[in-house]
């Protein structure tokens, strides 16, 4: 395999020992399985700035800390220097978010280092030690769908308690590791307290996951965890252990808890019948 240029400096500096194979190339980054001192890790190489759109970034970058007013003005104007700064802010946001959330005990990969536009982090694995699949690659029973939703919802609440909103959460950015879901891909992480779009981005994040899992358990479709969470957060009543119900006062509809349970029971009954 030809070693990508962007990984050469890390090899030369001995930060990684070997590039094992490409894992995935998405819209924003190419991800490689590499061997490093820490063992098998992944290296996320951000795509070059020119290949990506900056306009959409504005909504995300709002409220983020920048170094100085010159940097902010340049970022707002979109000059070459400004674009470089925006790009750096983008990559750093993922690194910062990973360090912060990992330190807070949340389910994100442990970051190892960030160098030359490459983020090195723990590889999220399945029970065979292979890279973990994304939620979109998995099938769920209604009960599993409910458990995954519950798990992810509490992770999102934990992130919000740490002042961050993922901003691009979906079945493509949650991996199913051997020990449960892991959340990845955070360059657009949002500062919850200083971004005017915070609420809508949080609600969208949670809806993406809810809608995906509702395909396996239609009873979940009515859950409104995002709205509920934001309501509590705004009133400073959200803590990592605050119980969430998926019910939200602003909604006219109720969560059909019995529907959720009915789906789970039906599928258990079907499984029993099949076994017989
Ligand atoms: N720490 C990791 N462990 C295992 N697989 C990963 C890890 N990080 C990324 N991947 C894989 O690489 C893909 C792309 O990474 P991601 O961070 O989502 O970037 P993109 O912006 O390209 O979507 C993911 O969908 C996932 O399959
Ligand atoms: Mg992704």
Average pLDDT score, the chain: 89
pLDDT value of position 49: 63
d(CA 249, CA 111): 38
pLDDT value of position 89: 75
Q: How many residues does the chain have?
A: 276
Q: Is the pLDDT of residue 66 over 70?
A: no
CB 174 within 8 A of CB 135: yes
DSSP 194: S
Ligand 1, pocket-test mutation among 20, 21, 22, 23, most atoms within 8 A of CB: 23
* Distance from Cα 131 to the centre of ligand 1, integer Å: 9
Domains of the chain: residue spans and CATH: 12-122 (3.30.200.20), 135-275 (1.10.510.10)
198: tokens are: 């915070």
Q: What is the mean pLDDT of residues 52-67?
A: 59
pLDDT value of position 5: 94
d(CA 42, CA 33): 5
Which protein residues touch ligand 1 with a CB less than 6 Å away? 23-24, 26-29, 31, 42, 44, 109, 121, 123-124, 131-132, 134, 172-173, 175, 184-185
- Confidence grade of residue 86 (pLDDT, cut at 50, 70, 90): confident
Helices (H), 50-141: 57-61, 69-77, 80-103
Q: What is the mean pLDDT of residues 220-246?
A: 97
Q: Is the pLDDT of residue 63 over 60?
A: yes
Per residue in 1-21, pLDDT (tens digit) is: 889 999 999 999 999 999 999
Per residue in 147-174, pLDDT (tens digit) is: 999 999 999 999 999 999 999 999 999 9
Per residue in 115-154, pLDDT (tens digit) is: 888 999 999 999 999 999 999 999 999 999 999 999 999 9
pLDDT value of position 267: 85
Could you give the strand order of the β-sheet that contains 29-36, starting from the edge strand earlier in sequence? 16-25, 29-36, 39-46, 118-122, 111-115
Of residues 141, 225, 223, 213, the one with CA closest to residue 174: 213
| Out of 11-15, 65-69, 75-79, least confident range | 65-69
């Amino acid at each position: 395999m030809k070693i990508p240029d962007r990984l050469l400096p890390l090899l030369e500096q001995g930060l990684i020992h070997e590039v094992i194979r490409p894992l995935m190339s998405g819209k924003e980054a190419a991800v490689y399985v590499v061997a490093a001192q820490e063992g098998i890790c992944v290296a996320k190489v951000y795509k070059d700035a020119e290949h990506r759109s900056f306009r959409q970034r504005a909504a995300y970058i709002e409220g983020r800390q920048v170094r100085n007013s010159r940097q902010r003005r340049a970022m707002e104007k979109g000059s070459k220097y400004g674009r470089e700064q925006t790009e750096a802010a983008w990559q750093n946001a993922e690194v910062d978010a990973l360090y912060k959330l990992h330190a807070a005990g949340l389910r994100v990969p442990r970051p190892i280092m960030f160098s030359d536009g490459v983020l090195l982090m723990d590889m999220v694995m399945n029970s065979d030690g292979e890279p973990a699949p994304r939620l979109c690659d998995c099938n769920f029973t209604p009960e599993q769908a409910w458990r995954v939703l519950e798990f992810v919802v509490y992770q999102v609440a934990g992130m919000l308690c740490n002042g961050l909103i993922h901003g691009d959460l979906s079945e493509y950015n949650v991996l199913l590791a051997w020990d449960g879901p892991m959340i990845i891909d955070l360059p657009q992480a949002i500062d919850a307290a200083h971004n005017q779009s915070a609420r809508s981005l949080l609600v969208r994040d949670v809806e993406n996951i809810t809608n995906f899992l509702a395909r396996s358990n239609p009873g979940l479709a009515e859950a409104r965890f995002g709205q509920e969470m934001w309501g509590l957060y705004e009133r400073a009543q959200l803590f990592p252990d605050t119980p969430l119900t998926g019910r939200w006062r602003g909604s006219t509809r109720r969560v059909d808890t019995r529907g959720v349970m009915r789906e789970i029971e039906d599928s258990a009954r079907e499984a029993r019948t099949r076994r017989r």
